[in-house]
Amino acid sequence: MSSLASRFAGGRDYLAACTVGLPSRATVRAVRADLDAAASGRPDVAAASRAVEDARAAYARLVRSPVGDVAIAAQTSVMVSLIATSLPDGAEVLCPEGDFASLVAPFAHAGRGIRLRTVPLDDLADAVRAETALVAFSLVQSATGEVADAAGIVAAAARVGARTLCDLTQAAGWHPVDATLFDATVCHAYKWLCCPRGVGFLTVRPDFARSLRPVQAGWYSGDDPWASCYGTGGTLAPDARRFDVSPAWQAFVGAAPAIEIFADADITEVYAHTTGLAARFREGLRLPQPARPSAIVTWPDADGEALRRLSARGITASGRAGRARVAFHVFNDDGDVDRALRALGTTAVPAAWPVALSYSI
């Protein structure tokens, strides 16, 4: 894990990868070189376009998806809106209670009689019914760090012919992911994948893609974007690229080397490292271990006292939905656990705390 940590200049006392990831050294170099070239009057659009495709290919490897099933985007809600727009009038969408707004709100405001139903995350699989058209959920919950029983949810959806949409934003980068298990996935890469903000990905199975209307089509949705700049844009790309939106070039310049770091890494090693640190932290606070290990730890902190204690010691954490939240990534180590627990007035268990390496998606 030290080789991965060395890719980052910082990370000590930074326990907020679930809020925003830290740029890698390679990302900083790439963005600075791109800005320097542009500032000197030599912007390299061709290189930026190559970075887009490099990022797409690396992301496809990371989530085990055919690259032709990957579209690029800038925001999660935009990708979700594409799917919401294509649902039949009156369709039922099932989501977990308290899931992230970018996943839920597009369905809540879709109109056309689309019905949004929410249940607790643990009840999601059991709540799928014959009239459910789509089950949309985050693999890892932003507010609580809970990891969904993805296999159970997918199986329940398959029994009634419902589609599945999984948000990988809080999972990709530390949790093993197989995007092909779902009809569609979305991911904003500025958190655990440590990309500049404005880089997102949609994966969609070809059979599901045929039911989606490319309502956001633009020049970059064309089979040849540079020949699709005017008029109706010409022929759309034959694969998921027809759902592409015009890329934020400088963001993708920084994203390509960042995603390659995680695509090349041993994700089982990353999973063991991050969830192991989280398990030690939970034990130090006498918090119960979750049914499915998570790199995110949250606990009630309605008055913000825990966050104030962490901040007073120079530790960066976050708070969501009345809970304190810390996250452990590749640039964190046992020292981060120890310092955070001391800030909270407790002590850590020995560093050899055993962690189950099993996971399921």
Digit-coded pLDDT (tens) for 231-258: 998 899 999 999 999 999 999 999 999 9
Least confident of 25-39, 135-149, 284-298, 336-350: 336-350
| 360 band by pLDDT with thresholds 50, 70 and 90 | low
**Nearest-angstrom CA–CA distance, 356 and 358:** 6
List strands edge to edge, sheet with 184-188.
Answer: 70-73, 200-204, 184-188, 163-167, 132-138, 92-96, 115-119
**Nearest-angstrom CA–CA distance, 298 and 295:** 10
**Mean model confidence pLDDT for the chain:** 95
Percent of the chain clearing pLDDT 90 (strictly above): 94
**Nearest-angstrom CA–CA distance, 181 and 164:** 9
Least confident of 118-122, 220-224, 269-273, 349-353: 349-353
Q: Which two tokens stand for residue 129?
A: 């019914």
**Nearest-angstrom CA–CA distance, 343 and 314:** 9
| 355 band by pLDDT with thresholds 50, 70 and 90 | very low
| 140 band by pLDDT with thresholds 50, 70 and 90 | very high
pLDDT of 356 over the 80 cut: no
Q: Which two tokens stand for residue 25?
A: 């050294």
| 347 band by pLDDT with thresholds 50, 70 and 90 | low
pLDDT of 43 over the 60 cut: yes
Fill in the DSSP letter of residue 172: T
Residue 1: the pLDDT is 73
Residue 252: the pLDDT is 98
Percent of the chain clearing pLDDT 70 (strictly above): 96
DSSP string over 222-284: BSSGGG-SSTT-SSBPSSGGGG-----HHHHHHHHHHHHHHHHS-HHHHHHHHHHHHHHHHHH
Question: Which pTM does this prediction carry?
Answer: 0.94
pLDDT of 349 over the 80 cut: no
β-partners of residue 323 are 300, 320
176-208, pLDDT tens digit by residue? 999 999 999 999 999 999 999 999 999 999 999
- Residue partners of 6: CB distance under 8 A and separation at least 6: none
Residue 141, CA distances (Å) to 32, 88, 205, 302, 320 in order: 34, 27, 23, 19, 11
